[in-house]
């Protein structure tokens, strides 16, 4: 290993030291960075209009939510989409669906998924890469679009009042760690039992014993999910009725719907049409030709549910689908990499606002495919698109984003994304199948190509 590798030596280091000492620019950079954090030192003045919260297409949406110290962004974004549907049907001004309820069932299902994967790979060596990936992922908060559809279709959704947040649903690290320890103990027991030729029934008993513990831990930390609940709300006056004489209409009419099940609520109070949506990615890497479909092996939550399924499209087509959804008044669920070129206080993602090249007199630019192939970039956060500004050629300039990091950053929690940043760091958009052209519809019918569990298109499902 590394037989021909060359160690660093003093001569080479002196060469680098001399180069640094002769550079007036690097000396200036040293002075600047002595008292200024790097990302702030390289910030440049934004172009006019790029940081204003005015958009040519904008959806009127509710106040932002807050996932706090958890990786539940994918669930928050989806539930924020669904709550807008509830709001439209029932004229509700402010409303949240229970993120805790969805997270409870997600973790319960993930525990079963994890143990079933361990059983499926029980004949592999302990250092097998696929098995190692599953064991190292363990219990985490992340997920993908098809995973949340599986959850909502099986368990439904409930208003936040029916299952509110707890300290541990809002800060999941400690619970994840202890649940993972219980799952790994079970994995050890399952692999030992497999080596001793235990029957499938005996393996199932070992698994169910662990799942019973996981369920109990979730109930203790998150609360017991309701089987039925009452839905109470006040509807806002319909537009045009704000000045009605009836004070009850002006202030909001009280409603209560009793003994609803979570499935009933999902089917009847939201549009209940998530099966009409499909997931589209932009991955310009050689291994993923456009107009092909893809799935990611061993990533999921609900055993027997729909697998992860993507159609890879050129970026201009991905953007076109997002814009068409926005034009029809629909927020757009999307996945991106928020690790780079962001100003959290201001709520801006814009690679044009940072000039590292000038400060260091070096080149740092990577193409999108290079970032993916060399593991520099991958999906790690899901949000909603709720607006866009189009230029005179109907091309996007900037995007409005509903984040789930609370209302203390950005414009009361809403962010701006530059078009350049969108093209580089947005990897996934979800849109309705009815918006597709014939070529896209045809491509969507093809059997998927299988990707490895560690592929960059699967990383959103392993966010902590």
Rounded Cα–Cα distance for residues 429 and 315 (Å): 10
DSSP string, 49-100: TTTS---SEE-------B--BS--HHHHHHHHHHHHHHHHHHT-SS--B-HH
CB 391 within 8 A of CB 57: no
For tokens 């990533």, the residue is 299
Q: How many other C-beta atoms can be found within 10 angstroms of the C-beta atom of residue 2?
A: 6
Rounded Cα–Cα distance for residues 51 and 39 (Å): 18
DSSP string, 4-67: T-----HHHHHHHHHHHHH-HHHHHHHHHHHHS-HHHHTB-PPPTTTTS---SEE-------B-
For tokens 């509700």, the residue is 92
Among 132, 273, 381, 393, the one annotated catalytic: 381
Rounded Cα–Cα distance for residues 97 and 120 (Å): 35
Closest alpha carbon to 180 in 137, 139, 133, 208? 139
For 125, phi and psi rounded to 5 degrees?
-65, 155
| Residue 73 known to be catalytic | yes
Among 100, 150, 168, 403, the one annotated catalytic: 403
| Residue 403 known to be catalytic | yes
Among 66, 73, 117, 133, the one annotated catalytic: 73
**Cα–chain center distance at 129:** 25
Rounded Cα–Cα distance for residues 154 and 74 (Å): 17
Rounded (10°) angle between helices 99-120 and 129-137: 150
Active-site amino acid positions: 73, 381, 403
């Amino acid at each position: 290993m590394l037989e021909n590798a060359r160690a660093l030596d003093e001569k080479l280091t002196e060469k680098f030291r001399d180069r640094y000492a002769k550079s007036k620019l690097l000396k200036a950079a040293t002075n600047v960075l002595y008292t200024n954090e790097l990302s702030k030192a390289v910030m440049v003045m934004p172009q006019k209009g790029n940081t204003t919260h005015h958009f040519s297409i904008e959806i009127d949406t509710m106040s932002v939510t807050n996932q706090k110290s958890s990786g539940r962004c994918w669930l928050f974004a989806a539930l924020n989409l669904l709550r807008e549907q509830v709001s439209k049907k029932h004229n509700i001004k402010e409303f949240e669906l229970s993120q805790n309820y969805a997270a409870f069932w997600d973790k319960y299902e993930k525990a079963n998924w994890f143990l079933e994967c361990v059983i499926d790979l029980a004949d592999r060596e302990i250092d097998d890469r696929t098995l190692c990936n599953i064991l190292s992922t363990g219990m985490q908060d992340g997920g993908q679009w098809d995973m949340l559809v599986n959850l909502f279709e099986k368990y439904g959704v409930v208003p936040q009042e029916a299952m509110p947040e707890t300290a541990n649903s809002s800060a999941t690290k400690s619970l994840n760690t202890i649940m993972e320890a219980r799952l790994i103990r079970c994995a050890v027991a399952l692999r030992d039992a497999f080596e001793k030729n235990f029957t499938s029934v005996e393996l199932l008993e070992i698994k169910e014993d662990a799942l019973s513990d996981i369920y109990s831990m979730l109930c203790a930390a998150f609360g017991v999910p309701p089987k039925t609940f009452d839905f109470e709300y006040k509807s806002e006056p319909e537009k045009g009725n704000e000045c009605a004489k009836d004070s009850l209409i002006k202030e909001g009419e009280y409603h209560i719907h009793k003994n609803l099940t979570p499935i009933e609520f999902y089917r009847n109070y939201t549009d209940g049409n998530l099966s009409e949506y499909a997931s589209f990615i932009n991955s310009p890497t050689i291994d993923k030709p456009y107009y092909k479909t893809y799935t990611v092996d061993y990533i999921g939550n609900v055993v027997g549910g729909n697998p992860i399924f993507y159609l890879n499209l050129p970026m201009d087509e991905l953007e076109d689908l997002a814009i068409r959804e926005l034009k029809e008044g629909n927020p757009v669920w999307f996945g991106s990499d928020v690790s780079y070129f962001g100003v959290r206080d201001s709520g801006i993602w814009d690679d044009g606002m940072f000039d590292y090249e000038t400060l260091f007199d070096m080149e740092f630019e990577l193409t999108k495919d290079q970032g993916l192939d060399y593991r520099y970039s991958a999906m790690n956060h899901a949000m909603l698109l709720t607006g866009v500004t189009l230029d005179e050629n109907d091309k996007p300039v900037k995007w409005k984003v509903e984040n789930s990091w609370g209302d203390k950053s950005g414009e009361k929690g809403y962010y701006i994304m530059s078009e350049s940043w969108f093209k580089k760091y947005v990897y996934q958009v979800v849109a309705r199948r009815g918006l597709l052209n014939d070529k896209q519809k045809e491509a969507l019918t093809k059997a998927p190509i299988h990707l490895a569990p560690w592929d960059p298109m699967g990383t959103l499902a392993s966010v902590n």
